């Protein structure tokens, strides 16, 4: 998408500005610095920049701080809160600002528009504006239009024309620019690893100059590059997130079927996932997906389709299944505890996934809120996310307690629940933890333990889509009820049969 850019340009070594120093922007900026590019990391929040200048990341992401320190020292990464200045002095601008959920699930593009207007104010030579933030299809068109509109206002030259002395816009003075889409596929907790080892890079361009610039920037990564137009590229990102969410809701639905018929969802996932047409990834059943991306991107994608008259009921159902996971899990806790009111529940995991301190749309918090509403008190532990959680769910003596360790959270509890699959939880000594608890009930929302081992450690173990161990009053499935009825009927002595058949359970 170009604003009067058609010629090829000598690429040289363009200076890069990354706009927005969040979960996407910071790893992207540091990754590019590591590839040898000069990068300005801009953010309008002076506090964020002050923290970065001290060599600290404002959020937890593995391997990020060493890279930050390295490139503050190398001088290849310069953090700044002067967004206008960064835009003015760079040629390639990666836009990594937030695209939160607006009304009706629609993406709120206020920050994107803001950046487009800031670019227009600082269009002092050729620039390539690259959307990295997840945006709905056709956003690049609007970015281009907005930059052109406001750049024209900036550069409006006043000249007298005709007798009435009207102002005339001299639009020819606007420098050339391109708008491209280059969606990110970074997972929180693996962002640095994902940056350096991408499966693919997608670039949506409509000028050779933009394509050459982006290919040059990413060449050292040596991975497949999909080149397409900006709208298709924008759609690829939403489609990827919607598809992954669909896989999760699909396996969660299968998990419920497994529970009903007595099958094991972990083996079902493996059994289907080894087929390369399906793939093993994103088939972990549990309490559902959360985070800043999947829930809002799914809604924005469905909204976009419906706005264009497309039936997106598949995506709506994916969301509904995900929402119902919380109640499904709470039912398990109720079934295990009988009465939740007055019980102390140890909670392991608050972040929406492991290796992050991010609690946005975390299923864990929804579960905790539901338990508190039912009158339980909670003892919470997460290796990284407790400071963020404390902001939305403050400590309340006797009701909400933040703990120093898994052991601490389990101490005196009537049940221990697993809500995030941190590897440190997988390694805990279940025998020891059991000894700390008042009642040995373990409800595992992420299937991180082997049921037989948990049972051997003395736990009554409840999990997702697999048989629970040691629960004394199992609900009978419809099939089991029918088979029990048949067995009882068959067990009645008849005139013809002398022997009683064994009762099948
Ligand atoms: C997701 C995508 O995976 C990235 O490719 C994308 O770049 C990013 O969104 C984004 O749009 O910025 P992220 O939200 O960081 O990344 O985390 P994921 O690893 O995708 O997990 C999302 C949620 O799904 C988590 O709550 C996780 O627990 C859940 N999940 C994941 C499952 O419940 N089951 C699974 O099998 C996998």
pLDDT (tens digit per residue) in 10-51: 567 899 999 999 999 999 999 999 999 999 999 999 999 999
% of the chain surpassing 90 pLDDT: 84
Residue nearest to atom 28 of ligand 1 (CA): 353
| Ligand 1 atom having least distance to the Cα of 288 | 33
Best of 23, 282, 326 to mutate for ligand 1, by most ligand atoms within 8 A of CB?
Answer: 282
Tens-place pLDDT, residues 203-243 = 999 999 999 999 999 999 999 999 999 999 999 999 999 99
The kind and range of the H/E element at 240 are helix 230-261
For the CA of 184, the closest atom of ligand 1 is: 7
> What tens digit of pLDDT does each residue of 342-361 get?
999 999 999 999 999 999 99
Average pLDDT of the chain is: 90
What are the C-alpha distances in Å from 317 to residues 55, 132, 246, 321, 467?
A: 44, 28, 9, 6, 26
Report residue 34: phi and psi, to 5°: -65, -30
Residue 148 CA, ligand 1 centroid: distance in Å: 36
Q: How far apart are CA 79 and CA 15, in angstroms?
A: 14
Going by alpha carbons, the residue nearest to atom 9 of ligand 1 is 293
Q: Coil, strand or helix: which one is 418?
A: strand
Residue to mutate (ligand 1; options 244, 272, 367; most atoms within 8 A of CB)? 244
Residue from 64, 186, 287 to probe ligand 1 pocket by mutation (most atoms less than 8 Å from CB): 186
Task: Calculate how far, in angstroms, residue 247's C-alpha sits from the geometric centre of ligand 1.
Answer: 11
N-term to C-term CA, the chain: 66
Q: What average pLDDT does the segment 499-503 reach?
A: 35
Model pLDDT, residue 152: 84
Say how many Å lie between the CA of residue 289 and the centre of ligand 1: 7
Q: Identify which of 124, 126, 98 has the alpha carbon closest to the alpha carbon of residue 112.
A: 98
Q: What proportion of the chain, given as a percentage, has pLDDT over 70?
A: 87
Under the phi-then-psi rule, with left for phi > 0, alpha for psi from -120 to 50, and beta for the rest, what region is 125? left
Index of the ligand 1 atom closest to the CA of residue 361: 26
Q: Is the pLDDT assigned to residue 63 strictly greater than 80? A: yes
Q: Is the pLDDT of residue 500 over 60?
A: no
Atom of ligand 1 nearest to the CA of 237: 11
Which of 293, 312, 403, 463 is flagged as catalytic?
A: 293
Distance 26 CA to ligand 1 centre (A): 18
Distance (Å) from CA 190 to ligand 1 centroid: 10
Whether 258 is catalytic is no
The whole-number pLDDT of residue 31 equals 98
Alpha carbon nearest to ligand 1 atom 32, residue: 289
Beta strands 415-418; 441-444: pairing state: parallel
* Three-class DSSP category at 43: coil
**pTM for the model:** 0.89
CA of 292 relative to ligand 1 center, distance in Å: 9
Would you say residue 499 has pLDDT above 80? Answer: no
For residues 470 and 325, the model is more confident at 325
User: Nearest C-alpha to atom 18 of ligand 1 is from which residue?
Assistant: 187
Per-residue pLDDT reduced to its tens digit, 460-491: 999 999 988 875 444 445 665 565 565 545 54
Average pLDDT in the 254-267 region? 97
Mean pLDDT of 362-366: 98
Q: Which residue has the least CA distance to atom 13 on ligand 1?
A: 187
Which residues line ligand 1 at a C-beta cut-off of 6 Å?
134, 184-188, 241, 244, 248, 282-284, 286, 288-291, 293-294, 297, 352-353
The pLDDT assigned to 225 comes to 97
Name the residue with the closest Cα to ligand 1, atom 19: 187
| Alpha carbon of 351 to ligand 1 centroid (Å) | 12
**More confident: 9 or 334:** 334
Higher pLDDT, 10 or 370: 370
For 116-168, what is each residue's pLDDT tens digit? 999 999 999 999 999 999 999 999 999 999 999 999 887 764 334 444 545 44
CA dihedral 11, 15, 19, 22 (to 10 degrees): 110
| Cα dist from 497 to 494, 500, 501, whole Å | 5, 8, 9
Of all protein residues, the one whose alpha carbon is nearest to atom 31 of ligand 1 is 282
The pick from 25, 188, 319, 322 for probing ligand 1's pocket by mutation, whose C-beta has the most ligand atoms within 8 angstroms, reads: 188
Cα separation, 382 vs 347, in Å, equals: 8
The stretch 253-265 carries a mean pLDDT of: 97
Residue closest via CA to ligand 1's atom 23 equals 289
Q: What is the pLDDT of residues 278-290, one digit of tens each?
A: 999 999 999 999 9
Structure confidence at residue 489 (pLDDT): 57
**Exposed, middle or buried, 388 (CB in 10 Å: 0-12/13-18/19+)?**
buried
């Amino acid at each position: 998408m170009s604003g009067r850019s058609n010629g090829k340009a000598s690429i040289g070594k363009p200076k890069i500005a990354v706009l927005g120093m969040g979960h996407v922007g910071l790893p992207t900026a540091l990754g590019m610095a590591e590839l040898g590019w000069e990068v300005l990391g801009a953010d309008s929040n002076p506090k964020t920049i002050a923290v970065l200048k001290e060599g600290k990341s404002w959020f937890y992401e593995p391997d990020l701080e060493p890279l930050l320190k390295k490139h503050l020292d190398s001088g290849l990464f310069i953090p700044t809160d002067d967004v206008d200045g960064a835009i003015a002095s760079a040629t390639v601008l990666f836009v990594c600002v937030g695209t939160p959920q607006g009304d009706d699930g629609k993406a709120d593009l206020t920050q994107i528009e803001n950046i487009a207007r800031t670019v227009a104010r600082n269009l002092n030579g050729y620039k390539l504006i690259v959307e990295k933030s997840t945006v709905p299809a056709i956003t690049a068109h609007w970015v281009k239009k907005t930059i052109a509109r406001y750049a024209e206002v900036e550069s409006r030259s006043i000249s007298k024309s005709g007798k009435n002395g009207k102002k005339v816009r001299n639009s020819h003075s606007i420098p050339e620019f391109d708008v491209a889409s280059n969606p990110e596929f970074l997972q929180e907790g693996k962002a640095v690893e994902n940056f350096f080892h991408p499966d693919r890079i997608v670039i949506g361009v409509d000028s050779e100059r933009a394509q050459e610039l982006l290919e040059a920037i990413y060449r050292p990564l040596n991975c497949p590059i999909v080149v397409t137009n900006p709208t298709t590229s924008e759609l690829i990102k939403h489609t990827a997130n919607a598809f992954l969410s669909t896989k999760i809701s699909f396996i969660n639905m299968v998990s419920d079927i497994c529970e009903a018929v007595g099958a094991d969802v972990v083996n079902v996932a493996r059994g289907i996932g080894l087929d390369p047409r399906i793939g093993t990834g994103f088939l972990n059943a549990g309490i559902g997906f959360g985070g800043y991306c999947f829930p809002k991107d799914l809604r924005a994608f469905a909204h976009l389709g419906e706005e264009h008259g497309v039936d997106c009921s598949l995506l709506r159902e994916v969301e509904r299944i995900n929402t119902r996971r919380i109640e499904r899990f709470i039912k398990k806790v109720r079934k295990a505890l009988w009465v939740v009111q007055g019980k102390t529940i140890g909670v392991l995991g608050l972040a929406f996934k492991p290796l992050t301190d991010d609690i946005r749309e975390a299923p864990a918090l929804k579960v905790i809120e539901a338990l508190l509403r039912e009158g339980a008190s909670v003892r919470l532990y997460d290796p990284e996310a407790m400071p963020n959680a404390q902001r939305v769910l403050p400590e309340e003596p006797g009701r909400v307690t933040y703990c120093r360790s898994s052991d601490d959270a389990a101490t005196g509890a009537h049940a221990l629940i697993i809500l995030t699959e941190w590897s440190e939880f997988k390694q805990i000594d279940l025998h020891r933890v059991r000894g700390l608890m008042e009642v040995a009930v373990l409800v595992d929302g992420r299937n991180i333990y082997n049921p037989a081992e948990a049972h051997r450690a003395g736990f009554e173990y409840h999990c997702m889509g697999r048989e629970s161990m040691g629960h004394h009053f199992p609900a009978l499935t419809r099939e089991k009820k029918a088979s029990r009825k048949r067995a009882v009927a068959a067990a009645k002595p008849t005139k013809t049969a002398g022997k009683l058949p064994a009762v099948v359970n």
